[in-house]
Amino acid sequence: MSVTILDESNFEQEILQADKTCLVDFFATWCGPCKMMAPVIDEIASENPDVKVAKLDVDEADEIAEQYGVMSIPTLIIFKNGEAVKTFVGVQSKEDILAALK
């Protein structure tokens, strides 16, 4: 699957109402560590069709980022049944992310 691009207009429908586990990458275009995570996020999306993988630009959707306590980027949040269940802050290994998605 491809990575879904989120904003304030589609976050609720795409993530909170999703019928599968979601991984949301809170990022910014100017963030070096976020750019390092991008290939890992793309790999997870393509290799795990049972997980919805999405990206949210914190500069474009700062209210959502604030709602979920995103203070540093990249921040990855796993959602299940519309609830945030796991948060990673900073660059993470693909293995750690996949383990948390199980």
Catalytic residues: 31, 34
Q: Which residues pair with 77 in a beta bridge?
A: 24, 87
Whether the Cβ atoms of residue 37 and residue 96 lie closer than 8 Å to each other:
no
**Contact predicate 76/92, CB 8 Å:** yes
User: Which residue's structure tokens are 């790999």?
Assistant: 43
